[in-house]
Chain A
């Protein structure tokens, strides 16, 4: 919600004394400085105040200077001002440095040091360093002025010892003498630091002896903690100081009250304290460099990217194959592009959703009467209202998804009631007046418990299949279990293949639940009037949304109009239907237009990705030739089916890989649980399977002593060969592709310990169903309108489709307009996903263009009264053979109709017959190669190099194609690094961006290379094939393989957090110790 959930007022005192008075007088008032922490807590409902007393109007709190050898910083000086102050940078650079790394530039620009200290958020940096500096704070309050050591200020998390009305005025920091040295190190996994260590040494003049020391830990402890015993231990000669560092660190860790939390275990934090105290100590003694000197080289990164983008356009093309600028560029860089969130309809009302606080319960009663009469409320929608609908449930595969909970709730976050009001805050307010009583049932939180005997049933009812059931088998549900789907993919004789094998490797792999996080959260605007429904949707599948709405209301297709404006990212998470039925039912209920916009927290609760536990066995002969695979997969699919049936089926199918296996036995089961519904996410099944299949392939290679590259080259299915029975033969030169990636990584060049290369590949049956149509209107001036039902998600379809039309008609891109995704205007498109738009919609546009040109040719025959063979098509018009007589497209239309602005319409469609009948239309090979740099002590790692490859047949727009792949790889990197949704009991623990951190600028590798392979061997326009789910699927496996090369540890479960890498290292050491240490490194250098 872009405004605050409740009103408050702001007072502007003119002095510290007045501020104090205002606070003392009003128990609902609080002090307001920068607001970065306070306002956030208020917005999130953690704190509630009626009055903010703005200290920024009080003069005298923003000083910054030196007095009596002390740095004096006014409480209201911002982090940014401190970080950039020439004075601080000269006199206390460690503080400037720390301040320049707090949160992000926006928080630094408004947040103040005094506010930070007074808020006492434990996961914070400044107090830790200030304690090691012996800083003091000066305050003024009702009982007078006082000066406190900073260590005394913070009493407990979010609590200082300041009394009510006592105001922090200034921070005083003694400047360091030449013999005093200080260093600070922080460790951060998510948005806030998990550990901070400040270390100070005061040496004697000769530098030979430590006279005093300060050792402070913060962020990992409830409040910053000094360890006097550790400090005492450090006093003495510097010669043997290094030997004492570890014991000091241990003392510090003991006193820190370390806890296990979502940032890491107490064990690991203790280990980090040991490592970093030793490193900081050596740094202070000058025997070790600080963290990598110099900033990462942005110039080199950009150069690597530009070099890989050098691209020779294919001869014979004018527009296609050229990296023309995106046609939506100007509107997107000026803020003019309209997304669903920007749509306003006259008379629009606002909806807010009340969500279930429990995972599994019967709804005993709902009292919404007080909410109905709350200010601004136009209606309260409850489950009981759904009875009047044609269907109270939706779902393209299984119609199991209750638009609003009826009788039962099935996960924390499930919509139970909706308030519709004139403004969003009014709707929010009304929710607080709805009283719901639940009778809790035993929740089922994991797939394993869901399928155990006697598990409580999540769905008691028998549901019907949806409009796009795919291969749905509802018998599982008929048996009344929590089994959502069960797939078994089998060919060949697996038992005999495994019996014959020279080697069998097996293991268990787990890919976690993740959140796609498109920046635009779910949002919809619906208007139900006169039995006609118009919905603005941010979904990828405009026409599937229409189908679900048609079924919900029992309206004809023609009476439901779904419009998808620009979409702010989809990544699969906006496939199928999300909040459109709920929004539409709200509008139907109140007969006013309704807008419903979810927060990111609500968006996570609406759709996450399935996790998958995969037990995999691979059989091979002694040369490393793969023979067979066997797998058992289990997915936690959440409370509703959504697309998890397909996710589960694809997880099994994508374990085949791009390899010709004699026999497979791949089973996958998906279970309903009382967690947020899972569904599609970019390349689903692909990333689940590739983790298992490609890590296991490296394990096999290692056991056989074969290079990981070599084992792939030996097994990759050659182009044109059938490797998956019943499917289209391999549509790419996979071995060639892998070799290109290896070359770009200097595969085979030895790396030092800590560095390692890894790669992974798969073959994804992309493209979904080959059906759809497009239309091209040729106008009387020869300009074109292309009508396509596909949506512009950012992937660039609007530009690509325009390029195809411009190429076909020989016109400039500026004369083409593409109109997309409006069911009342554009022709049917099945969906926008599975990398299908360029290949399939592109083909229909191409066919529509050719249809229009054929019509124009006929019209020209008529105009010239010439036989067909004498009228030929030229790039920009028609010609009468053997003459100089020519007509442009527009001339033909004008002369034929004798009406200048007449037009014709060309149509093109595809359907699943002939060449399009063999699935998949193309194989997409997600392929990524990485080099990692790993820290063998802490387990921390980062990417050095990233190489992606898109085997795209022909890139209609090469720069955009490469951009897709890079974006996909970095998205995949997120799960390898740290992304994972975590349930604790019934609750999702980290369903906001504060606890779920996606990759940022700081995670970029040193160099990137995007390779495009264009064999013009695709089924799409000019030999193109789809691409865009991209390398994501291979990233976790590639990183796991690289970490093995770097450190010799095998990881089977992303995210590969530093802690997990460290644990794996420890286990390996323990195992090596147990086997007598001669087992040798299983890692080796490659």
Chain B
């Protein structure tokens, strides 16, 4: 599979979740595990641009596909993505445990918005991601900052 633009070849057991492969085999620990039941979204990564719960989603499913994790959001020269900058500017995180997943869910939403009407508003697009710290409004503010330029 391709992870954050880098081709990697992994010999994983079919019963390994994508999060397990990312965190334990590749040491990409920006992807967090919290609820482990597809509810909280802390483990969100994008596979071919679509958000999945990597806590449950099998690494097997990502074979031959492109996986984007929070470690791959910044540009190759190290410059932060506008969304990452907006998150900092709007205080869209506190503890940061939800942040990787939140950024990727927001990233997918913004990509959809660019492609035209997805039929989902920003609340619906992020509804599967839980944050216990911020009260959400700063996150919405950051996402709209990027969306509306």
A residues with a Cβ closer than 8 A to B are: 1-4, 6-10, 35-36, 39-40, 43-44, 52, 80, 83-84, 89, 96, 100-101, 103-107, 109-110, 191, 295-296, 298-299, 301-302, 305-306, 323, 325-326, 328-330, 332-339, 341-342, 344, 516-521, 566-571, 599-600, 793-796, 959-960, 963-964, 966-971, 992-994, 998-1002, 1004, 1008
Interface string of B20-63 (1 = CB under 8 A from A): 10011001111111111111111010000011110111101100
Beta-carbon contact of A967 and B93 below 8 Å: no
Q: Which positions 94-108 of chain B face chain A at CB distance < 8 Å?
A: 94-100, 103, 105, 108
Cα A103 to Cα B128 in complex, Å, equals 8
Chain B residues near A84 (CB-CB < 8 A): 118-119
What are the 6 closest A-B residue pairs judged by CB atoms, nearest first?
A: A335-B30, A104-B128, A794-B95, A568-B97, A794-B94, A332-B96
Minimum distance in angstroms from A931 CB to a CB of chain B:
16
Is B14 positioned at the interface, with any CB of A under 8 Å from its CB? yes
Closest to A992 in B: B37
B74's partner among A109, A328, A334 (CB-CB below 8 A) is A334
A519's partner among B42, B89, B144 (CB-CB below 8 A) is B42
Chain A residues near B52 (CB-CB < 8 A): 106, 109-110
Beta-carbon contact of A110 and B57 below 8 Å: yes
Cα A43 to Cα B43 in complex, Å, equals 16
Beta-carbon contact of A332 and B14 below 8 Å: no
Cα A479 to Cα B137 in complex, Å, equals 51
Beta-carbon contact of B20 and A333 below 8 Å: no
Q: How many A-B residue pairs have CB under 8 A?
A: 266
Beta-carbon contact of A10 and B14 below 8 Å: yes
Is B70 positioned at the interface, with any CB of A under 8 Å from its CB? yes
Beta-carbon contact of B127 and A1002 below 8 Å: yes
Beta-carbon contact of A295 and B93 below 8 Å: no
Closest to A6 in B: B15
Chain B residues near A333 (CB-CB < 8 A): 70, 73, 80, 84, 87-88, 93, 96, 99, 103
Beta-carbon contact of A105 and B144 below 8 Å: no
Closest to B43 in A: A2
Chain A residues near B30 (CB-CB < 8 A): 334-336
Beta-carbon contact of B121 and A337 below 8 Å: no
Chain B residues near A969 (CB-CB < 8 A): 135
Cα A970 to Cα B108 in complex, Å, equals 25
Minimum distance in angstroms from B90 CB to a CB of chain A:
8
Beta-carbon contact of B132 and A106 below 8 Å: no
A36's partner among B38, B99, B126 (CB-CB below 8 A) is B38
B132's partner among A83, A998, A1001 (CB-CB below 8 A) is A998
Cα A329 to Cα B84 in complex, Å, equals 9
Looking at A295, A333, A337, A338, the one whose CB has the most chain B CB atoms below 10 A away is A333
B56's partner among A35, A105, A323 (CB-CB below 8 A) is A35
Closest to A600 in B: B35
Minimum distance in angstroms from B140 CB to a CB of chain A:
5
Is B146 positioned at the interface, with any CB of A under 8 Å from its CB? no
B123's partner among A8, A298, A516 (CB-CB below 8 A) is A298
Beta-carbon contact of B96 and A330 below 8 Å: no
Given known A2-B33, A298-B144, A335-B29, contact A305–B15 (CB-CB < 8 A)? no
Given known A109-B51, A326-B91, A519-B97, contact A298–B121 (CB-CB < 8 A)? yes
A-B contact pairs, 16 of them (CB 8 A): A3-B15, A35-B57, A40-B56, A109-B51, A298-B121, A333-B73, A333-B103, A335-B71, A335-B100, A336-B71, A339-B32, A341-B33, A568-B34, A600-B34, A994-B37, A1004-B137
Given known A302-B144, A966-B137, contact A518–B132 (CB-CB < 8 A)? yes
Beta-carbon contact of A793 and B95 below 8 Å: yes
Cα A12 to Cα B7 in complex, Å, equals 23
Beta-carbon contact of A339 and B97 below 8 Å: yes
Beta-carbon contact of A566 and B123 below 8 Å: no
Beta-carbon contact of B32 and A341 below 8 Å: yes
Minimum distance in angstroms from A672 CB to a CB of chain B:
29
B95's partner among A3, A40, A107, A518 (CB-CB below 8 A) is A518
Closest to A571 in B: B132
Beta-carbon contact of B128 and A520 below 8 Å: no
Beta-carbon contact of A569 and B132 below 8 Å: yes
Closest to B138 in A: A963
Closest to A296 in B: B123
Minimum distance in angstroms from B3 CB to a CB of chain A:
13
Closest to B94 in A: A794
Given known A3-B20, A302-B144, A326-B88, contact A566–B96 (CB-CB < 8 A)? yes
Given known A305-B138, A332-B93, A993-B35, contact A1001–B123 (CB-CB < 8 A)? yes
Beta-carbon contact of B70 and A80 below 8 Å: no
Cα A415 to Cα B18 in complex, Å, equals 29
Cα A680 to Cα B80 in complex, Å, equals 38
- How many residues on the B side are at the interface (Cβ–Cβ under 8 A)? 83
Chain B residues near A325 (CB-CB < 8 A): 88-89
Is B77 positioned at the interface, with any CB of A under 8 Å from its CB? no
Closest to A306 in B: B141
Cα A560 to Cα B23 in complex, Å, equals 29
Given known A109-B51, A519-B132, A967-B134, contact A334–B98 (CB-CB < 8 A)? no
Given known A103-B128, A335-B30, A339-B97, contact A1001–B140 (CB-CB < 8 A)? yes
Given known A40-B38, A106-B128, A993-B39, contact A35–B103 (CB-CB < 8 A)? no
Chain A residues near B80 (CB-CB < 8 A): 330, 333-334
Cα A826 to Cα B137 in complex, Å, equals 35
Minimum distance in angstroms from B146 CB to a CB of chain A:
12
Is B13 positioned at the interface, with any CB of A under 8 Å from its CB? yes
Beta-carbon contact of A519 and B135 below 8 Å: no
A305's partner among B57, B94, B108, B141 (CB-CB below 8 A) is B141
B133's partner among A7, A109, A967 (CB-CB below 8 A) is A967
Cα A325 to Cα B137 in complex, Å, equals 17
Is B67 positioned at the interface, with any CB of A under 8 Å from its CB? no
Minimum distance in angstroms from A441 CB to a CB of chain B:
32
Beta-carbon contact of A106 and B135 below 8 Å: no
Minimum distance in angstroms from A1031 CB to a CB of chain B:
10
Beta-carbon contact of B95 and A963 below 8 Å: no
Cα A530 to Cα B31 in complex, Å, equals 35
Chain A residues near B123 (CB-CB < 8 A): 295-296, 298, 1001-1002, 1004
Cα A323 to Cα B138 in complex, Å, equals 14
Beta-carbon contact of A337 and B56 below 8 Å: no
Given known A295-B123, A341-B33, A795-B94, contact A334–B128 (CB-CB < 8 A)? no
Interface string of B110-122 (1 = CB under 8 A from A): 0000000011111
Cα A369 to Cα B16 in complex, Å, equals 29
Chain B residues near A993 (CB-CB < 8 A): 35, 37, 39-40, 130
Cα A689 to Cα B97 in complex, Å, equals 31
Closest to A344 in B: B27
Closest to A974 in B: B132
Closest to B34 in A: A519
Minimum distance in angstroms from A1029 CB to a CB of chain B:
13
Beta-carbon contact of B34 and A334 below 8 Å: no
Minimum distance in angstroms from A30 CB to a CB of chain B:
13
Given known A105-B51, A105-B120, A521-B34, contact A1004–B136 (CB-CB < 8 A)? yes
A569's partner among B53, B122, B133 (CB-CB below 8 A) is B133
Beta-carbon contact of A106 and B58 below 8 Å: no
Minimum distance in angstroms from B100 CB to a CB of chain A:
5
Cα A830 to Cα B108 in complex, Å, equals 43
Cα A710 to Cα B87 in complex, Å, equals 41
Is B124 positioned at the interface, with any CB of A under 8 Å from its CB? yes
Chain B residues near A107 (CB-CB < 8 A): 38, 53, 128
Minimum distance in angstroms from A341 CB to a CB of chain B:
7
Cα A35 to Cα B35 in complex, Å, equals 17
Cα A103 to Cα B35 in complex, Å, equals 15
Cα A45 to Cα B69 in complex, Å, equals 28
Chain A residues near B61 (CB-CB < 8 A): 35, 110
Minimum distance in angstroms from B40 CB to a CB of chain A:
6
Minimum distance in angstroms from A494 CB to a CB of chain B:
40
Beta-carbon contact of A2 and B38 below 8 Å: no
Minimum distance in angstroms from B44 CB to a CB of chain A:
6
Cα A7 to Cα B41 in complex, Å, equals 25
Minimum distance in angstroms from B46 CB to a CB of chain A:
9
